[in-house]
A and B are shown apart, each in its own frame.
Chain A
Amino acid sequence: MAPSAEELLRRNTVGINKETVSNVASTDFPGHFPGEDHAFTIERFRSAFSVQFHRNELNDASFSLIGIDASLANAFRRILIAEIPTLAIEDVYIENNTSVIQDEVLAHRLGLIPFNGGREGIHNFLKWYKKPEAGEDAYANSFDWNTVRLELNITCTVNPDASPNENDPLKAYNHAHVYAKDIVFVPTGRQVEYFSGENAIAPTNPDILIAKLRPKQTINLAMHMHKGIGADHSKFSPVATASYRLLPLIHITKPIIGADAEKFQRCFPQGVIGLEKITREEASKSGSGYEGHAGELKAVVKDSMKDTVSREALRHPEFEGKVKLGRRRDHFIFSIESTGQWDSDELFLEAVKHLKLKCKKLEQQVVNMVQ
């Protein structure tokens, strides 16, 4: 026996009430509802699942995954943040640093700068770096295919062309500010093939301020970049943010008319609630709640996706019993902002591949375990 559409909607809605949330847990398991078959089949999943794109730029993508459980959507989100590898500064060799920034703080700041470069080189040519064992040569494992060398050599000097009364340090001195763009990439070995011209390793945002200097202060250091994952250090995370929210639902159960409708509209962000004229037809229908209100304005839901679910509408007594707020349990609106080494849409695909590979390896391990 199939449940009614109404029942399906109820199961699929997380209730957002004035002070509480309700119906939070998934119930789509075999045995939960008598006589219903909730067994997993890939055909059933395929027919229920869909994707909708909202925005697709290099550094910012937004799309909806519909018909998927929170546990799976969350796995993709977690992999995006913590398990996709990127290249970042891991070792800093400080020759000289007379700036006011301490060595360790400077090293930490450098580590957090996102870098970009030829995709083929970053994704395929560069491989994992293995730290040498204790007692082994410190560079025993450093090769062109796992280590990228960068240098930062900068000294602040007095600008002889500036007026003696100049108060702005940027004009009075040369190199008063050290920016990410001052970092120089030193290609080694086969890196020339992958990282030359516009494919060179360079900071994604060249204007990141690293330190401030005064005349005669100097920074003189070399850096080694390695591949790593966000689980180890967030500097390796390929995303600035990767998050999802559930689709908001607004259900107007009883008509909201006239001045109330305008107030109702102001309870939501712009574009969520629209105002429509009540037609003569609606007003003539008895029991509709619109009787005798022809020509007045009524509130209608225009675009619930824009809602922030602030629950403001639930605070006003005039809307009590007239509106129900909720969220759709299986509609995830993802938003992914890449830091540059991957395209945002490509990143999600990579996360899906990563989960598949993880399962594949573990499946083999389970087979080995039983033997």
Chain B
Amino acid sequence: MPGRTKAQDAASQDADMQDVPPSGQDEINQDAEMREDAEVEEEEEEEEEEVEPQRVRILPGSTDTAASFEFTDEGHTLGNALRYVIMKNPDVEFCAYSIPHPSEPKMNIRIQTYDGTAVNALKKGLSDLQDVCDVVAEEFWTKRQQFNSEQGIDR
């Protein structure tokens, strides 16, 4: 996929590859930091009773602008839908999902951004998806009521 062109002026329609904004990926490996974060949060979880188990984690090797996330007990249903809305975010350079092995209930999402952090892109994706659901439900029910009253279906 070519780089983002939104910020460019209208005169130069055919952007050179040189004009593509630099990838936001950090060259330095931030592995160690990430792992520490994950451990701290696990300990806190166990204190509360009947709390939902943590199903999302950042995979090692991730940086602020280029991260992989592992979702437990999710599959293509959420993976592909989430991939689509995240790709619709102009700050995102790359987004893809995969299910590394069919017999493990895990789904990985990779996000690389030009601007902002990968975590924020993921958060925005999840909240955009909720907005989509609201619009779909509202429109569906309006049209359903309309159709039922036109057809004399009473239920």
Chain A residues within 8 Å of B, Cβ to Cβ: 1, 26, 28-32, 34-35, 37-40, 42, 45-46, 49-53, 56, 58, 63, 65, 68-69, 71-72, 74-76, 78-79, 82-83, 343, 345, 348-349, 352-353, 355-356, 358-363, 365-371
Contacts and interface: CB of A to CB of B under 8 A. Distances in A.
Contact of A369 (B13, B54, B132): B54
Contacts, number: 169
A32 B1 contact: yes
Interface of B: 1-6, 8, 10, 13-15, 37-38, 41, 44-45, 52, 54-58, 71, 74, 76-78, 80-85, 87-90, 92, 119, 122-123, 126-137, 139-144, 146-148, 151, 153, 155
Contacts of A368: 41, 45, 54
B55 to A, nearest CB: 6
Contacts of B78: 75, 355, 358-359, 362
A355 B130 CA distance: 8
Nearest to A370: B119
B130 A34 contact: no
A369 B68 CA distance: 13
A38 B134 contact: no
Interface of B is mostly: helix
B135 A359 contact: no
B144 A53 contact: yes
Nearest to A358: B78
A237 to B, nearest CB: 14
Nearest to B142: A51
B1 A365 contact: no
A355 B133 contact: yes
B116 to A, nearest CB: 13
B26 to A, nearest CB: 17
A58 B135 CA distance: 24
A83 to B, nearest CB: 7
5 contacts: A29-B87, A34-B5, A35-B5, A56-B153, A369-B38
B126 A366 contact: yes
Contacts of A79: 77
A269 to B, nearest CB: 24
Contacts of A353: 133, 137
A355 B90 contact: no
Contact of A31 (B4, B44, B52, B153): B4
Given A63-B143, A356-B130, A49 B88 contact: no
B139 A49 contact: yes
Nearest to B4: A31
B12 to A, nearest CB: 9
A72 B89 contact: no
A40 B88 CA distance: 5
A56 B126 contact: no
Contact of B2 (A34, A49, A68, A348): A34
Nearest to A363: B126
Contacts of A362: 55-56, 71, 74, 78, 126
